[in-house]
Amino acid sequence: MKRQFVFTMFGAIFLILAGVIMAGSARPADTAMAPAIGATIEDFSLPDTDGKNHALSSLKGKNGTVLIFISVQCPISNGYNDRMAKLAADYNARGITVVGINSNKSESAADVKAHAAEKHLDFTILKDPGNKIADLLGAQHTPEAYYLDANNKLLYHGRIDSSVNPAQVQSNDLREALDEALAGKPIQKTTSLAFGCSIKRV
């Protein structure tokens, strides 16, 4: 009886340890950490919706780059389509390039291309096979924005603004960060909590 109890205890401990190990090793992207503000992001290359590769260094403006993780199907991301298009137009003229990144495994390059045409998203949109760049940047939501300066230093990470409903926006976090940087001022709010649909990883 005593021996059976010991074996049962060892079996239970083994199962618990196995579960802990599995939990720690499963889906590491779920715990991917975003780089710290001030970190330099290494140059990377991704294909556009036609399969042509683009390096970040070839896309960035003289005053940097805004990377926005976007989705075809997410209603939150789609709620920002007009604002993202306007952001790209406004800041391209000021030396900041807006680049969309689609990391969803369930959305093909053809889907992304058709969606961009339908929604009049005129900025470059890249496909992120295997969600490698989403993992690199710790991106979890669509939309989620990152502002890198001309040297690829991360200056802002978070939401575009405070509400998917334009009439309820209380703060334009991303625009405020860009305007402060362009004016040579310290960015007052370098991070904010992004919200939206989860990125559908492989």
Q: Are residues 102 and 17 in the same domain?
A: no
Q: Are residues 7 and 81 in the same domain?
A: no
The count of structural domains within the chain is 2
pLDDT surpassing 90 at residue 29? no
- Structural domain that includes position 190: 33-198
Q: Are residues 77 and 158 in the same domain?
A: yes
Rg of the chain over Cα atoms, rounded to whole angstroms, equals: 20
User: pLDDT per residue over 150-190, tens digit each?
Assistant: 999 999 999 999 999 999 999 999 999 999 999 999 999 99
Q: Which residues contact 199 (CB under 8 A, 6 or more apart)?
A: 69, 71, 103, 104, 131, 134, 139, 140, 141, 142
Q: Are residues 185 and 85 in the same domain?
A: yes
CATH code (residue 127): 3.40.30.10
Q: Are residues 78 and 170 in the same domain?
A: yes
Mean predicted confidence (pLDDT) in 17-38? 54
Tell whether omega for the bond before 143 is within 30 degrees of 0, i.e. cis: yes
Mean predicted confidence (pLDDT) in 83-111? 98
User: pLDDT per residue over 101-149, tens digit each?
Assistant: 999 999 999 999 999 999 999 999 999 999 999 999 999 999 999 999 9
Q: Are residues 25 and 106 in the same domain?
A: no
Q: Are residues 8 and 60 in the same domain?
A: no
User: pLDDT per residue over 34-75, tens digit each?
Assistant: 999 999 999 999 999 999 999 999 999 999 999 999 999 999
What CA–CA distance (Å, rounded) separates 131 from 135?
6
Give the model's confidence band at 32: pLDDT under 50 very low, under 70 low, under 90 confident, else very high. Answer: confident
Q: Are residues 52 and 99 in the same domain?
A: yes
Q: Are residues 67 and 118 in the same domain?
A: yes
pLDDT for the residue numbered 21: 29
- Listed residue (35, 56, 34) closest to 44, CA to CA: 56
Mean predicted confidence (pLDDT) in 5-27? 35
